[in-house]
Structure 1
Amino acid sequence: MSDSYIHLYITIIILSVCFVINAQSDSLNTLESTIISHGGQVLRITDPQYKAAATLHNRAIQIWPDLILRPATYDDVSLALSTLSSLRIPIRIMGGRHSYGGYCSHQGIVLDSALLKDLNIDWTTETVTMQAGVIWADVYRALNGSEYVALGGLCPTVGVVGFTLGGGYNAMYSRSFGLASDNVLNFTVALYNGTVVTASSTINSDLYWALRGGGGGNFGYVLEMTQKIHRMSETKMPNGQFSFLNITWVNIDIRTALTNWLTFLKNVADDDTRISFNVIIAVNSESNFLMMYCSFNGPSVEINSVFGPWLSQNPKPTFYDVFNYTQTDISRALGIPFPVVNREHVLSAMAINITEAMLDVILDFQPNSTAGLVGSWTELIYLHNANKDKNTAYAFPDISFDIAPGVSWTNPDADPDAIEISEKFLEKLIDAAAPSKSIVGAYLNYIDPYLRDWQKMYYRNHWDRLREIQTKWDPTWYFRFPQGIPPYNQQSNDSQLTNRSVVTIGSLIMLVLSQCFCLMH
């Protein structure tokens, strides 16, 4: 080939690249200016608001995006999706920023819901309609002083949408009123191409089914949802109050205390859905600690008759008190700061029951201090009969506990050791439960990047149906992340996902250079 043809070919390639770059740049500039003109924000690392906007709940998985887009209108969300998907630019959707796997962010473009904050309570229909940027603290403040509660997170800074899409249990209320996903009446969803649809039991019912337990980041961008709220009428106390029991044992026979509690659950609480528990166990070579938060959504005059026989057994609690709390009070008492003080790794094992072999593992969770850990604990969330609507994508209607071990540390150099310690503990717990088949999966809202067989652990027998629904509503697999649900025309292997990544400016330049190299040789 003559030099003139080589130069012509190179020129054509360079002009084509420039055309693509200019077209992409023009589209992005138009998108950014439109978002800003409608009251939204465009944040880059040099902007003073960027750091606060990009900060995630868990310091151990902090990611700094290239660009954060904060639309203030649904039309601008649609424009962002249609523009970015047509350019094949990947995104992540950010809400409350509590994603345990960090999947609400990445080193690219993030669509942040922070400015979509409308919240409306309809007292006549007993419902609350929440936009995507609402966090549970907003809802609790709106309900405070009334007799109503919403099925939201104990931690008030959790986003309402991500919490609900994973099922959304509340350790103090779900046994009485169900999961967040049980209580959603409808969703408004922006699809990958910018189209906005409604999903309910009668409209797009397959999408409605999938969104209730199929996990955040799949299927589409949920713009808003309407959820039932519940009147606290059984407690006979004003302003939505209920009885909150704080029961603590320190440096005593924890195994016996736990065994007595498990017997109380079987004999009393399993059939009395007014009773809920959130239990924290911490054991080390020098001390042990067992703390139970319990809610009783019944008349306070019944507390002694219901709980007395159990609490009178030895070992008796070191500390025991009863408070009259509202939902705002409980979120303040149990909520943790945003972001968390230390780095964390929190896991999940959804269990039908807790066997003696599993107790052996839980009570032996004493990580070597040389790993630099600040603390380790196991949380037991009592969820027997918490799932009220069985026709959802939530995969665990039969479990009684979420066993959630966790570790915290401060030094980033300790990340590998801390993660390995917690993951090995989970493996030991799963092995101990294997003979009785007590552990059946993992809670999707505690999404774990290192979890083995995550498709089965998160979704159980719903996996195939969820893939079918993803194929229908997001055939290009635009809403994707490492543990996302792939449509049937895509592969779920992470390495194949990487190979299917978008054509970026950098890759176009590399294409030009490779073509030039071939022509010159």
Structure 2
Amino acid sequence: MMDSFIHFYITTIFLSVFFLINTQSDPLSTLESTIISHGGQVLRITDSQYKAAATLHNRAIQTWPELILRPATHDDVLLALSTLSSLRIPTRIMGGRHSYGGYCSHQGIVLDSALLKDLKIDWETETITMDAGVIWDEVYRVLNGTEYVIMGGLCPTVGVVGFTLGGGYNAMYSRSYGFASDNVLKFKVALYNGSVVTASSEINPDLYWALRGGGGGNFGYVLQMTQKIHRINETHMPNGQFTFLNITWINVDIKIALNNWLTFLKEVADNDIRISFNVIVAVNGESNFLMMYCSFNGPSIEIDTVFNLWLLKDPKPTFNSMFNYTQNDISRVLAIPFPVVNREHVLSAMAINITEAMLDVILDFQPNSTADIGSWTELIYLHSATKDKNTAYAFPDISFDIAPGVSWRNPDNDPYAIDMSEKFLQKLIDAAAPTKSIVGAYLNYIDPYLPNWQTMYYRHHWDRLREIQTKWDPTWYFRFPQGIPPYNQQSNAYKLPNKNSMVIISSFIILVWFY
């Protein structure tokens, strides 16, 4: 009896010590406690802040991670990467949560940048340095009231880093100042093993080249980047204002209106980079809708001279309004709510031009009459927009991004809506084939169903990007669908460890040993 009691007493003490040591030495527990102690967050599905943190822009691709880690310091990002990669636990990098493929999330661990918010402007060098968790709205608010703009997204809730890594065009400003990827001077990058490097034109130029248009979750975790800002006082308006026009046609012959616009582009706008357009075409049965948002980066006194000959052609616009807007005003007007109210599927076709055959396909894009689905096509005018040809962004010669989209509410319509939009894209590509007008797809409108995506996103840069991925992420730790694999990719069987089962097994072995 006494021997059994002594055995039980010793076993209890041993197990207590074992559990304490196990808890203290568990690297995941250490990582979580470190992140929390430095002002970060560790969120699970039972936490009150979890749902808001995990919610993605588009309901149609929503996934719910097992764990969200939100470091508040760069050092804790490095610790997270070194810990998770050493344990062979996969993670996804989350920024603004706008990934059209949902690749910023998965059912495992997500490393979220939301608390990394440092933002510094150097007015002397006309640059801004932004942490990974900054969104464009925060940048625009800081610049608002100044004479400066930055190459950021029209939608203000998009993350600055993810936008830039995919190239990052702005329909209202890129013709004047290039893409976001053209304007980045330096990246601070955390690698898979927790080390940190700088990438610029002089330091690690291969990584610098790849991140500007070929990033999108590849190569490493961008902690911070420095980007140029641009003074726009040539408009002769106060506080960094542009002339912003809303030109709309309703229930007219849209094909004629679009051809008039395309003629205006060839005769005037192609040679005047002060003019930019974002165009929305919607056709639904007997009704149609054509809206053009236009910015003019020049003196308002020239507006009539530049635009009147085009706008006086028949069919004349149903509405034609003009405003003096800052970048903050424009992003507010064009913003898409986060998250979107409906489910969405948005695609991309990078086009050198728009032919009559392509126009016919665009004007025939509409769901069948029984489907509760809305459809539209966005035409982003980008002729002569990219200034720096030495980046991984593969489309300096395109004039348009043709972006069809569908929107619906009922999840039962998912298969039809996606199939409808994918078939439209193929019809558009087929219509463009004789003239080879479509040359790829925009990485920031990433499409999980896109065939031949390696060439469509990266064109002739694919092999070079794989070489760079092999150098900087040889184990392919930053892995996701449509990610760039290294040449020597390893078949890593990543698995989240089950801490409880390990403790139970260990405890059983100890009990057997003592008894």
Q: TM-score, normalised by structure 2?
A: 0.92
CA 1:146–1:412: 2 relative to 1, 3 Å: same
| Residue 248 (structure 1) aligns with | 248
**Hey, what does 1:443 align to over in structure 2?**
442
Instruction: Tell me, yes or no, if the aligned pair for 1:44 and 1:50 is still in contact at 8 Å.
Output: yes
Residue 445 of structure 1: SS of its match in structure 2? helix
Structure 1: how far apart are the matches of 2:181 and 2:286?
42
Q: Which residue of 2 aligns with 1:501?
A: 493
Does the 8 A contact of 2:175 with 2:275 survive in 1?
yes
* Residue identity in the other structure for 2:493: S
Q: Does 1:486 align with 2:485?
A: yes
1:418 aligns with 2:417: yes
The verdict on how the C-alpha distance between 1:147 and 1:435 changes in structure 2, with shifts beyond 3 A counting, is same
**SS, match of residue 425 in structure 2:** helix
Stretches of 4+ moved more than 4 A in 1? 21-25, 506-510
Distance 2:67 2:115 in 1: 16
Equivalent-residue separation in structure 1 for 2:371 and 2:24 (angstroms): 47
Please state if 1:294 is matched with 2:286: no
Are the counterparts in 1 of residues 23 and 29 from structure 2 also a CA contact under 8 Å? no
Once residues 243 and 117 of structure 1 are traced to their aligned partners in structure 2, the CA distance between those partners, rounded to angstroms, is 31
Deviation at 1:23, TM superposition (A): 8.9
Query: Which letter maps to 1:428?
Result: K
Match of 1:459 in 2: 458
Indicate the residue corresponding to 2:369 in structure 1.
369
**1:212 alignment partner, SS class:** helix
CA shift in 2, pair 1:504/1:332, >3 Å: closer
Residues 383 and 399 in structure 1, CA contact (< 8 A), matched pair in contact too: yes
Whether 1:41 and 2:37 are equivalent positions in the alignment is no
Q: Give the match's secondary structure for 1:371.
A: coil
C-alpha contact 2:120 2:129 (8 A) present in aligned 1 = yes
What's the offset of the Cα at 1:216? Answer: 1.5
Partner of 2:219: 219
C-alpha distance in 2, partners of 1:487/1:326? 43
User: Which residue does 2:474 correspond to in 1?
Assistant: 475
Give the distance between the partners of 1:344 and 1:358, measured in 2 at CA.
Answer: 23
The answer (yes or no) to whether the contact 2:281–2:290 under 8 Å persists in 1 is yes
How high is the sequence identity, in percent, across the aligned residues? 83
Tell which deviates more after alignment, 48-57 or 363-372: 363-372
Structure 2 residue aligned with 1:431 = 430
Distance 2:36 2:24 in 1: 18
Asked whether the equivalents of residues 440 and 457 of structure 1 are also in contact (C-alpha less than 8 Å), the reply is: yes
CA distance in 2 between counterparts of 1:54 and 1:361 reads 37
Alpha-carbon shift at residue 234 of structure 1 (Å)? 1.4
2:400 matched residue in structure 1:
401
Does 2:118 align with 1:126? no
Residues paired across the two proteins, number:
485
3-state SS of paired residue (1:420): helix
CA distance in structure 2 between the partners assigned to 1:415 and 1:362 by the alignment: 21
Amino acid at match of 1:271: N
Structure 1 distance, partners of 2:24, 2:203, is: 36
> Which is further off, 230-239 or 157-166?
230-239
The equivalent of 1:203 in structure 2 is 203
Alignment partner of 1:421: what SS?
helix
| Contact 1:147–1:240 (8 Å) recurs in 2 | yes
Describe the SS at the equivalent of 1:234.
Answer: helix
Work out the CA distance in 2 between the residues paired with 1:385 and 1:335. 25
SS of match in other structure, 2:235:
coil
Q: Per-residue deviation at 1:503?
A: 3.8
**Structure 1 residues 355 and 32: alpha-carbon distance in aligned structure 2, compared to 1, 3 A threshold:** same
Query: Is the partner of 2:234 in helix, strand or coil?
Result: coil
Could you say what secondary structure the match of 1:164 adopts? Answer: helix
Counterpart AA for 1:285? G
What is the CA–CA distance in structure 1 between the aligned matches of 2:415 and 2:23, rounded to whole Å? 43
**Structure 1 contact 58–100 (Cα < 8 Å) conserved:** yes
Superposed CA deviations along residues 2-46 of structure 1, whole A, max 9, x for unmatched, are xxxxxxxxxxxxxxxx99x96998000000000000110000000
Helix, strand or coil at the partner of 2:266: helix
Q: TM-score, normalised by structure 1?
A: 0.91
CA contact (8 A) 1:215 1:445 kept: no
**Which amino acid is the alignment partner of residue 131 of structure 1?**
D
CA shift, 1:284, in A, is 1.1
Partners of 1:24 and 1:87 within 8 A in 2: no
Aligned match of 2:239:
239
**Contact 1:215–1:444 (8 Å) recurs in 2:** no
Task: State the Cα distance separating 1:164 from its structure 2 match.
Answer: 0.1
Deviation for aligned residue 1:367 = 1.0
Question: Could you list the runs of 5+ residues in structure 2 that have no partner in the other structure?
Answer: 1-17, 506-515
CA distance in 1, matches of 2:472, 2:496: 25
**Structure 1: which 5+ runs fail to align?**
1-17, 492-498, 514-521
Alpha-carbon distance in structure 2 between the residues aligned to 1:418 and 1:366 = 10
User: How far apart are residue 486 of structure 1 and its match?
Assistant: 0.3
Distance, in Å, in 2 between the alignment partners of 1:289 and 1:31 is: 53
Amino acid at match of 1:63: T
Q: 1:248 to 1:116 in 2, by over 3 A?
A: same
